[in-house]
Amino acid sequence: MLNHTGYRGVISAPLLLVSLVLFQLPSVYSLNDGILSTNRKLLATTVTNSSSNKYAVIFDAGSSGSRVHVFCFDQNLDLVHIGKELEFFEKLEPGLSSYPTDPKAAANSLLPLLENAKKVVPHNTRQNTPVKLEATARLRQLGADASEKILQAVRDLLKANSGFKTNDDWVTVLDGSQEGSYQWVTMNYLLKQLGKKYSETVGIVDLGGGSVQMAYAISEANAAKAPKTTKDGDIYVKELFLMGTKYYLYVHSYLNYGLLAARAKILNVTKDANNPCILAGYNGVYTYGGVDYKASALSSGSHMKKCRKQAIEALKADGSTCTHKNCTFGGIWNGGGGDGQDHLFVGSFFYDRAEEAAFINASEPVAKVRPRDFKLAAKRACKTKLKDAGSAYPAADTPNLPYICMDLVYQYTLLVDGFGREPWKPITLAVRIKYQDALVEAAWPLGSAIEAVSVAG
């Protein structure tokens, strides 16, 4: 991967490579095609053997944990089965950022994932198989010195222990807009919408722990109206050429507005006072980014409307900071809207909380919902006391229980007040998408893998 300073302007070299290889891919798919239910555990089994197949190993070093994805492609860059699946995927916790002062321990935490990835890739192809690690928002927040030491330890580990093809530039902190672009390419690749009109593609919102990304294709007219740069110097619109079609991709990454970071922002609104988003009966401390925040409930417990006010203030979604005609939140241009975001796919923590709140079927990797479903779930959660939360939400991890009202309120507020989605307008929650006859993780690493095998030759 090129470094992120090269990812400015209308098109990056990596995405140009993606464009060239994707030009040859088939384009037949209906958004109404069925979704295959399966156990999410992936098995490392024999891959269809072909000397022309290419593999890529992608580590996603996220804020809440580390994940490894292994993909296999044929000569046309179509995905090839790995056993019964079209990828190998495993994850573990905690993430690299949990070792801010011990870079070697951070790197060694990846060893179980690395060893299992090696079992998937045939031995005679490993030296030509690119391995990349791309860290997201949380590692950025450790500061340049600490994050670089961790990344260097990972580079050393991969060179010494992986047997894969590695490059120092392939172990890096992923730029937020690059993450959003990869995610958009991944989703539309899996849905086989690439090559169609921009209005037939799908938009994405990916809610991680430290940041949230939005990306969708916009019209040429809206692209021409885009402000030149954001306040942090990034551009709003990327030009991509995919499968013979030119796309103007609106993409923005909102650092510090991921779900875990948002908890800190909401708690900081009330500072040392009790917070209306915390479940009744909880009196504790929430730690994020090395900072402790008072996380204690009101004597009356959590309250939906009061929590909404906190979330809106944390989002800066009242329009007071907007200097453009249309903004999402925090003064960020919204891309102008349009058909490219009509079909909106949202993932990561949106799916997880919906599963924990039990308003989607946990056995299905894709679910059609509406933003108001998060509001209804939040109303129920905010009436729950901590002592009852475990039985009310058996699918939720215990550390998340005090914050379940807050999380659901924030997600509703983010969709409706932040991104301007109508409460009744459908969205699709997705963690895995049917491609051919199997399921593939609907995440940005696939877009990164496409780049990697292209660069590796």
In one-letter notation, the amino acid at residue 245 is T
Which parts of 290-443 fold into alpha helices (H)? 304-315, 349-356, 371-382, 386-392, 404-413
Residue with tokens 């990869």: 182
Q: How far apart are CA 72 and CA 30, in angstroms?
A: 24
In one-letter notation, the amino acid at residue 72 is C
Q: How far apart are CA 283 and CA 251, in angstroms?
A: 39
**Can 134 be counted among the known catalytic residues?**
no
Q: How far apart are CA 299 and CA 281, in angstroms?
A: 8
List 87, 134, 179, 441, catalytic entry: 179
Strand partners, 430: 366
Give the burial string for 391-418 (b: 16+ CB within 10 Å, else e). Answer: ebbeebeeebbbbbbbbbbbbbbbbbbb
DSSP one-letter code for 123: G
Cα separations in angstroms, 177 against 8, 76, 213, 237, 328: 10, 27, 7, 10, 16
Cβ atoms within 10 A of the Cβ of 370, count?
Answer: 16
Strands 237-242 and 427-430: unpaired
| Burial of 229 per CB tally in 10 Å (0-12, 13-18, 19+) | exposed
The closest alpha carbon to 418, from 347, 317, 323, belongs to: 317
Cα separations in angstroms, 100 against 62, 130, 142: 14, 27, 7
Cis peptide before 94 (omega within 30 of 0): yes
Element of type H or E holding 17: helix 13-22
Give the burial string for 27-60 (b: 16+ CB within 10 Å, else e). Answer: eebeeeeeebebeeebebeebeeeeebbbbbbbb
| Burial of 10 per CB tally in 10 Å (0-12, 13-18, 19+) | exposed
**How far is Cα of residue 294 from the mean position of the Cα atoms in its chain?**
28
R_g over Cα of the chain: 21
**Which residues form the catalytic set?**
179
